[in-house]
Amino acid sequence: MTFAALCNTIFPQSVIDYHKTDNVDTPMPNPYKEGTIEYDLYKKNWIDVVQWHLEDIIRDPEIDPVEALALKRRIDRSNQERTDLVERIDSYFYEKFHAVKPLPEARINTESPAWAVDRLSILHVKIYHMQEQVNRQDVSEEQHRKCTDKLAVLNEQLQDMTTSITELLDDYQAGRRIMKVYRQMKMYNDPSLNPVLYGKK
């Protein structure tokens, strides 16, 4: 099984597991052993699907401002956790490929493999929810058609991303691309780098 195929097994499993309760406070029922790449992939998608629903909730026009601020803080924490997890997955790839000797014509990719996996994870969440819209019975024929067309595009994108990730990892293994990882170095969460935070000291 390719790595992309593994993702395409684990990500929809996580999405379905979340929707058994459809509650952002449901504890993550990760069925994989902690410390494995499967565990990290499941957790990655779980973060994405929970955050999808948090983003829905915070857009309620009648939401209490205090609750909205608390949700915004929670989304910020979720984004940081997501970034940390993507970087951990990149560390997995770095360990896997760092000993491969690059070919003289080897190229550098514009994004690391884990950020491509991140987009694949979010794509599975989009597909699930667009399928929900296609299944609705309380919409016009025009809206149903639009959602059906969008779902077809998302499924095509899924196939393209699956192929692209597989080819990218094959290129790393064969030395056709150079494995590099650049950390995000986000500054706004760091009290020593965000002037709003360090200015309050």
Boundaries of every domain in the chain? 3-193
DSSP helix, strand, coil percent of the chain (3-state; round to 5):
65, 0, 30
Q: What is the mean pLDDT of the chain?
A: 94
Find out whether 91 and 180 touch, Cβ atoms under 8 Å: no
Nearest-angstrom CA–CA distance, 168 and 108: 11
pLDDT bracket for residue 192 (50, 70, 90): confident
What predicted TM-score, i.e. pTM, was given to this entire model? 0.92
pLDDT digits (tens, 9 = 90+) for 36-93: 999 999 999 999 999 999 999 999 999 999 999 999 999 999 999 999 999 999 999 9
Asked if pLDDT for residue 190 goes beyond 80, the answer is no
For residue 33, give the DSSP letter. Answer: P
pLDDT bracket for residue 181 (50, 70, 90): confident
Nearest Cα residue to 172 out of 93, 116, 66: 93
Asked if pLDDT for residue 200 goes beyond 70, the answer is no
Tokens encoding 197? 């935070």
Q: What is the DSSP string of 82-111?
A: HHHHHHHHHHHHHHHHTTSPPPTT-EE-SS
Chain Cα centroid distance, residue 201: 35
Nearest-angstrom CA–CA distance, 35 and 25: 23
pLDDT, position 14:
98
CA distance to 81, 120, 159, per residue, from 10 (Å)? 19, 11, 16
pLDDT, position 6:
98
Nearest-angstrom CA–CA distance, 171 and 167: 6
Lowest model confidence (mean pLDDT) among 43-52, 140-149, 175-184: 175-184
Q: What is the mean pLDDT of residues 104-109?
A: 95
pLDDT digits (tens, 9 = 90+) for 120-133: 999 999 999 999 99
Asked if pLDDT for residue 197 goes beyond 70, the answer is yes
pLDDT, position 163:
98
pLDDT, position 186:
72
Asked if pLDDT for residue 201 goes beyond 70, the answer is no
Tell me which of 180 and 177 has the higher pLDDT.
177
| H/E stretch holding 178 | strand 177-178
